[in-house]
Amino acid sequence: MKYLILSLFLFAFLNTTPQNIIEIRGVVRDSANNEPIGLTNIYLLNNSSIGVISNQEGYFNLKINDTDTIVFSHIGYTTATIYPLESKAFIEIKLAKKPIKLSEVIIKPIEATSIMNKVSSNLKNNHYLKPEYYKSFVRVWETTNNKLDIVEEYILHLYLKFPLPKFKIIKGRAKPFSEKATKEFKERKLYNIIDVYEDYHILFLSDFLKQNKFENFNYTYLELVEIDSYTCYHLLCESKKSNEVIHLYIEKNNYGLARIEILSKNEKYIAESTTLVNFIKIDKQWHLKSSSYLYIPKNQLNKKIERICMYAVIDNESKNDYQNLRKTAKTQLNLYKSEFDDDFWENNNFVPIPKYIKEQME
């Protein structure tokens, strides 16, 4: 695997002559209704492993070489390509919805299961299932009745392995905003970030990917879509034993998983949750790229806890200073209490904080 050192949200370039660095900010919108398109994949034309995603409101920012060409890609939309001309330019990207041909939709139901058999049998070839190091950005925020309770942000190094990962916190900041969150802040631990390992475990533990469990699900082929220049099958997977619904996006040629979206309702501990995990193909294998997670506690239906993550594969990582899951979970959140105004975060690319959250932080 190529040696990748990727800065968090615009990942650093290797083996290239230094160019003039320009800063680009902008928003991605639907060309028909002008609505923002959140979680758009934004990457370099000559290297799709280098890039960012837009936030839930469609906003993004990144630093690039002035010779780079940027690609904007989102499921269901036509891909757009631009060549920025100046630093600190604000650009508005309009993506047009991509029509679906009827020939792409009509397919015999039995073929969906055939596709899943190939996904399962090729899982180890398509996905890097060995222990792996990632650099990750994690943002978590909690709201009650849409009022901000707390915001946390971290830059982590993760040693992802099955069954339990290890963590190294490079940088973190957290701040309570509501009266209740402020009172509870000193007693809180880092339990909001430790669940990021589940993005990796989804490949190991999900019954909908196991051939001996296929009988517990209904699989339906929906359409062909394009994800980061790869043509993918879009399959709907519905559990027969719960209210869980899964959308799978599977590379057409080699049956690797490019995207997994899980919708759950009325489970034991939560009223509703949405998990979205995106993968990126590097050297013929798929690795974690980004994820988002929303859950509503069963006993607090007016409360939301949201998380967004970005991942970058790193090689030749030192094993020093990593902590196991249990020790990380017991770390006091108060250690990372900080105002959201220091230079470190301003000088690094990151997923812009949504406006409705930022307005409450000011």
The pairing of beta strand 47-53 with beta strand 41-44: antiparallel
The DSSP bridge partners found for residue 177 are: none
| Element housing 187 (H / E) | none
Residues 285-294 have pLDDT tens digits of: 899 999 999 9
pLDDT tens column, 89-130: 688 999 998 765 544 444 455 489 999 999 999 998 998 777
Written as six digits, the tokens of 148 are: 């901000």
Tell me how far apart the alpha carbons of residues 227 and 279 are, in angstroms, rounded to a whole number. 10
**DSSP H or E stretch at residue 118:** helix 110-121
Query: Other C-beta atoms within 10 Å of 162: how many?
Result: 14
Structure tokens at 289: 């790229």
Q: How far apart are CA 30 and CA 226, in angstroms?
A: 17
Write down the residue that tokens 């997994």 correspond to. Answer: 260
- Per-residue pLDDT averaged across 171-181, rounded? 93
Cα–Cα distance for residue pair 290/251, rounded to 1 Å = 17
Give the sign of the dihedral formed by CA 198, CA 203, CA 206, CA 208.
positive
Pairing between β-strand 303-313 and β-strand 285-297 as defined by DSSP bridges: antiparallel
- Which pLDDT does position 14 carry in this prediction? 34
pLDDT tens readout for residues 24-79: 889 999 999 999 999 898 888 887 767 888 998 999 988 888 788 889 988 888 88
In this structure, are residues 261 and 276 in contact, taking their beta carbons and an 8 Å threshold? yes
Looking at residue 269, its pLDDT comes to 60
CATH fold group of domain 21-95: Immunoglobulin-like (2.60.40)
> Residue range 203-216: average pLDDT?
93
Two structure tokens written together for 244: 């869980």
Q: Which of 65, 157, 153, 159 is nearest to 350 (CA)?
A: 153
Are 313 and 282 contacting, i.e. CB atoms less than 8 angstroms apart?
yes
pLDDT for the residue 17? 46
Quick one: which H or E segment has residue 151? strand 147-160
Average pLDDT over residues 213-233: 90
Q: Is the pLDDT of residue 13 over 70?
A: no
pLDDT at 95: 93
Separation of alpha carbons 160 and 313, rounded Å = 11
Neighbours of 142 (CB within 10 A): 20
Mean pLDDT of the chain: 84
Cα distance between residue 155 and residue 259, in whole Å: 23
Vertex 74 angle, CA 71 and 75, to 5°: 140
Please say whether the beta carbons of 252 and 233 come within 8 A: yes
Nearest Cα to Cα of residue 136 among 359, 362, 352, 351 = 351
DSSP secondary structure code for residue 36 in this structure: B
Of the listed ranges 77-86, 144-153, 221-230, the one predicted with least confidence:
77-86
Residue whose C-alpha is closest to residue 76's, from 247, 264, 285, 272? 247
The residue extents of the domains of the chain are 21-95, 102-361
Task: Tell whether the model's pLDDT for residue 152 goes beyond 50.
Answer: yes
Q: What is the mean pLDDT of residues 151-159?
A: 93
pTM: 0.84
